[in-house]
Amino acid sequence: MMVDLVESYLAMRRACGFDLKSEGRCLLGFAVYTDTRGLDHVCRETAVEWATLARTVHQRARRIGHVIRFTRYARLEDFRHEMPVAIFGSEKGPRPVPYIMSSQEIQQLVQAAFQLGCHSLRQHTYGALFSLLACTGLRTSEAIHLRYQDITVDGLVIRNTKFRKSRLVPIHETARAGLERYLEQRRPYAPSDDHVFVSLRRKPLIVKDVETAFYAAAKAVGLPYPPMRPRPTPHSLRHSFAVRSLERCPDGRDHITKHMMALSTYLGHGNVAHTYWYLEATADLMRNIAERCEAFVTGASS
């Protein structure tokens, strides 16, 4: 039965570290759809028919993409499985343009966070959190899951991140001092919880809490929210860190390659291509790329 083959495929990929929650549900739905039609192999027409049941073209493209990857696995044992064609286009839409914050905007945002609400713990929590996100490029989820033992002499230990990998993030002495100041104020408030950042409920922060505080601080300093254009979000602090790091990249092909690999590791990207994407984020970086390409074509590059 197709269901058994799909479960075997999912077990193999999960053993390699993939989560596959939504993709797993999707493929099991395809397997049931195929089994009810009495088929024991992937049929190209059936795959397209099943994918068409999705509401949007993007969802249909994702369904076909899931089936294509599954079919590659299935054909290793049985060539009767027919490889579907990605007739609905790419399953991955273009990444949204990030909002890159200036140094002044980040400073104003952090200052506004230190004035949020009337409770000093809330003020210090979000002031320290946004400062840490801005100077390390951590994901919001990584920061709010930090525990006391993750602050080491070598830096912050980020455990079981987005791609189930842990990494060490070195931090500047000023960032460490800021964290220590916050912890001195935070420890007496919720001594039984070892999370670094806690809410007024004496519980670990959740993403929704962070978003609410960020938008309140952003509104207080007048960050723009124009329609149909990039808007600042908590993730903008990570984007801004990555772009400023690239802007400080030293010249020279070898230096650039090493810098990109180091930044990709520091940010915890699963693919270095995700780091190269930031090269398109600002006009300055695009101008640098154009100048280097021109130098290469004219023979002026090293």
Active site residue 81: no
Does residue 114 fall inside a structural domain?
A: yes
Indicate whether 250 and 290 sit together in one domain: yes
Give the 3-state DSSP-derived string for 25-50, with helices as H, strands as E and coil as C. Answer: HHHHHHHHHHHCCCCCCCCHHHHHHH
Does residue 215 fall inside a structural domain?
A: yes
Arithmetic mean of pLDDT, 59-63: 95
Percent of the chain residues past pLDDT 70, beyond the cut: 88
Indicate whether 114 and 56 sit together in one domain: no
What per-residue confidence (pLDDT) applies to 266? 84
Phi, psi for residue 198 in degrees, rounded to 5: -130, 155
What per-residue confidence (pLDDT) applies to 54? 95
What per-residue confidence (pLDDT) applies to 299? 67
pLDDT tens-digit readout, 77-125: 999 999 999 999 988 777 778 899 999 999 999 999 999 888 899 999 9
What per-residue confidence (pLDDT) applies to 57? 93
- Using CA atoms, how far apart are residues 169 and 54, in angstroms rounded to an integer? 41
Active site residue 235: yes
Residue 302 has pLDDT above 60, yes or no: no
Question: Which of the pair, 166 or 7, is modelled with greater confidence?
Answer: 7
List the catalytic residue out of 62, 139, 145, 244: 139
Q: Which residues pair with 295 in a beta bridge?
A: none
CB 176 within 8 A of CB 196: no
Active site residue 44: no
Does residue 208 fall inside a structural domain?
A: yes
Indicate whether 216 and 245 sit together in one domain: no
Number of domains in the chain: 3
Residue 198 has pLDDT above 70, yes or no: yes
Residue 275's domain comprises 235-298
Give the domain CATH number at 182: 1.10.443.10
pLDDT band at 161 (very low <50, low <70, confident <90, very high): confident
Residue 231 makes CB contacts below 8 A (sequence gap 6+) with 99, 224, 225
Q: Assign residue 89 a region: left if phi > 0, alpha if psi is -120 to 50, beta otherwise?
A: left
Indicate whether 115 and 157 sit together in one domain: yes
Indicate whether 208 and 120 sit together in one domain: yes
- Using CA atoms, how far apart are residues 257 and 263, in angstroms rounded to an integer? 10
pLDDT tens-digit readout, 242-263: 888 888 777 665 666 777 788 8
Indicate whether 109 and 203 sit together in one domain: yes
Residue 285 has pLDDT above 70, yes or no: no
Does residue 54 fall inside a structural domain?
A: yes
Q: Assign residue 156 a region: left if phi > 0, alpha if psi is -120 to 50, beta otherwise?
A: beta
pLDDT tens-digit readout, 27-36: 999 999 999 9
Task: Determine the residue type at 260.
Answer: M
Phi, psi for residue 158 in degrees, rounded to 5: -100, 110
Does residue 50 fall inside a structural domain?
A: yes
List the catalytic residue out of 44, 122, 235, 259: 235
Active site residue 244: no
What per-residue confidence (pLDDT) applies to 291? 66
Arithmetic mean of pLDDT, 201-228: 92
Does residue 147 fall inside a structural domain?
A: yes
Does residue 53 fall inside a structural domain?
A: yes
Question: Which of the pair, 301 or 172, is modelled with greater confidence?
Answer: 172
Indicate whether 281 and 201 sit together in one domain: no
List the catalytic residue out of 14, 119, 147, 162: 162
pTM of the predicted model, to two decimals?
Answer: 0.71
List the catalytic residue out of 238, 239, 244, 266: 238
